[in-house]
Structure 1
Amino acid sequence: MRALRDHQQGQESEGLALGARWPSLGYVFTTPIGTSLDPRNCTRIVQDQCATAGLPAIRLHELRHGCVSVLLALGVPPPRTVMDIVGHSTLEMTMTVYGHVSLDDKRAALDQLGGLLDEEPRNDVCCHRLLSGPVASDRPSAYSLFTNARPKGLEPLTL
């Protein structure tokens, strides 16, 4: 908020310097003469700042993707909040086009699946109750559930 207040004060100073020539358009970010910013100039500014910082140049729009990904990775509840922040009209747009799954999230998901497929069910696995029988020998392993289960209608074809 401090940065926005400082920006507003700077903008007011620019407006006072121009007097009646300052257009009252209500924009938060403007050129030094109060007109709206050209998106191409915004991209150039971001790319110049990236070069100054020694970072690869990015398109300004990529920051939007990054914002959504970071907000979703932070677990901002519910995802609809992220949708509203970035101004999407549908949650599907936010989640499928902009919501990028991180490599760490993929690894964590596969680690959970790997834990489920361990021969011996563990108490911290969510399916432990499903895999536990009255006697340990009656308890199937998660692996056998995947490899031996054949839903009705998916039997192998015989010729």
Structure 2
Amino acid sequence: MLRETNEYRDFLCVNPVGALITPDSITHYFIKLLDENELPHIRFHELRHSCISLLANNTAFSVKQVQDYAGHSDFLTTSKIYIHAIQSADEIASNALEDKLKLEKRKDNAD
């Protein structure tokens, strides 16, 4: 049984009995969550990479917005790490524009 403590009462990351939550605790519970849901083991940090990749791949976000969200001080850091997602987003935007132009052309030809 865990003993309640007030030692860390001013901290944000404490468990229900008031003890500090450590990075190891987060890792432990994350692995437990993966196991309980029969999901493959990944590192917790990979969630950050996945999230930022999804943002970079979304044409609604600029690279600058992704950089700010990721907390990168340098634009090049974001570009280098997430270039695959940025290129994919560019391709999606290009294809959407091409489809729109084809639709407009067909519409004009039908008139």
Shorter-chain TM-score category? 0.5 to 0.7
| Higher percent of residues as helix | 2
- Give me the CA root mean square deviation: 3.1
Structure possessing the higher relative contact order (Cα contacts under 8 Å, 6 or more residues apart): 2
Aligned to 2:21: 37
Higher gyration radius (CA)? 1
For this pair of structures, how many residues does the alignment match?
90
Are 2:8 and 2:20, in contact at CA under 8 Å, matched by a contact in 1? no
Aligned to 2:10: 24
One-letter code of the match for 1:60? F
List structure 1 segments (4+ residues) > 4 angstroms apart after TM superposition. 18-22
Are 2:6 and 2:18, in contact at CA under 8 Å, matched by a contact in 1? no
Q: Percent identity?
A: 25
When normalised by structure 1's length, the TM-score is 0.45
- Mind listing any 5+ residue stretches in structure 2 that lack a counterpart? 96-100, 103-111
Mapping 1:68-79, distance limit 5 Å: 68-79=52-63
Alpha-carbon distance in structure 2 between the residues aligned to 1:89 and 1:48: 34
- Mind listing any 5+ residue stretches in structure 1 that lack a counterpart? 1-17, 113-122, 125-159
From 81, 88, 107, the equivalent of 2:65 is 81
Q: Does 1:64 align with 2:21?
A: no
From 79, 87, 93, the equivalent of 1:95 is 79
